[in-house]
Each structure stands twice: as structure tokens, then as C-alpha cells.
Structure 1
Amino acid sequence: MPARHLTVWYNTRCPVCDAGIDWQRNKLLAAVRAGAISFKDINEQTDALASYGASLDDVRRRLHATDETGRLIVGADVAIAIGQITPGEGWLAALVGNRLMLPLTRFAYDRFADVLFAWNRRKGRW
């Protein structure tokens, strides 16, 4: 079985996204140093996920990640995957990611992401 690895793509121009990922990265320093997770700014490689059909605005709107097999993960599923490897957050990832809660988790995440995306566009953060 290959070692687990997650590459998370996010928008550093969004102050909420940038602060959230910075906070999460600090909680995951050991995992970052071990190469289990990496965080990348989509604004530095705007076409990084084009082969998956993900546009720059798609990634600015919702978190995107690739796992060790190259599979694309989007939105709430990325947040859950990060939570699964974050010390002390596995229980929360299990709670919001279980098969009964997952549809509600995805819906809530997507609505919040839509509002945040619209706010950033209004503020000219592109």
C-alpha cells in the first residue's frame, strides 16, 4: 500500500481561506514535514488542476486536493480528509463525514463556499 499523501490546493487571496489553511498547517507541522500533506496556492500555478477539468475559479471557490493515487477530492471531502489526519480532529471528521451526515455537510460547505467566493469577488481579491 502506498504511503498516504494529500496535496491541498487553496486560494491565498481569500483572507478566510488563507487564515484557515495557515491555522491547519500549523496543527499539521509533523505531517507536512513527513510529506503526508502539502498545501499549495492555486494562484501560483493557475492551471495545476486543469487536467482534472478544474478551473482557477473552481479552486478559488472550493478546496481541491489530490491524494497519493492522483484522485481529485473537492470541497467538504477535502476538509474531512484534512480533519482525519489532524491530531484531535478525527472524531469531528468521522462525525461530519459519516454516510448520514455527509450530504448535509457537503450542502453546508458548498453554500458557505458560494457566499465566501461572492464576497471575495466583490472585494476584488482576484
Structure 2
Amino acid sequence: ALTGHGASLDDIRRRLHATDAAGRLLVGADVAIAVWQATPGEGWLAMVFGNPFILPLTRFAYDRFADLLYAWNRRKGRW
């Protein structure tokens, strides 16, 4: 479903991918923030981690965690 956005299977395994209501592709921490915004009681997480000052750090931390998780899954032979 995401190949129309240029996302390969390996890309999807490395980072969360989703599309928003307008059809725009969201990747990584931006997906988590969008989910928090849409989940009752979790909007505060979106406000904290998605604010313009913290967002670069949020994306950096997410990307490092995703890299570690991807490497762990590869090492375990899951893909």
C-alpha cells in the first residue's frame, strides 16, 4: 500500500509508516505523534514530544531506537 509513496519493504521494516487523512506519508516519530493526537487521553504526549523545540530530539531518539530494533530483528533472523 505504501509503494505508491516510494516506501520499500526494507524502509517499512526500519521505521513506522502511515498515511494521514489527506494521504500524506508520515514516517517514524511523526506516526507516533499522529497516533497520540488521535488517541483520547494521549494528546499530551503529542504536545510534549511534537512541539517544535523537542521534535528534532524526538525524531533523533526514535531513529536511533528504530535502528537498534531493526538490527536486533535482523540478527535474530526475523527478516
Q: TM-score, normalised by structure 1?
A: 0.61
Distance in 1 between residues matched to 2:46 and 2:20, nearest whole Å: 17
Amino acid in the other structure paired with 2:78: R
3-state SS in 1 of match to 2:19: strand
Q: Alignment identity in percent?
A: 77
Give 1:82's aligned residue.
35
Aligned length: 79
The structure in which a higher percent of residues are helix is 2
Which of structure 1's runs of 4+ aligned residues deviate more than 2 A?
Answer: none
Counterparts of 1:38-53 in structure 2, within 5 Å, are: 48-53=1-6
Structure 1, unmatched stretches of 5+, are: 1-47
The structure in which a higher percent of residues are strand is 1
Q: TM-score, normalised by structure 2?
A: 0.95
3-state SS in 2 of match to 1:73: strand
Residue-by-residue CA offset, 1:4-27 (whole Å, 9 max, x unaligned): xxxxxxxxxxxxxxxxxxxxxxxx
Give 2:46's aligned residue.
93
* CA-atom RMSD in angstroms: 0.7
Give 2:7's aligned residue.
54
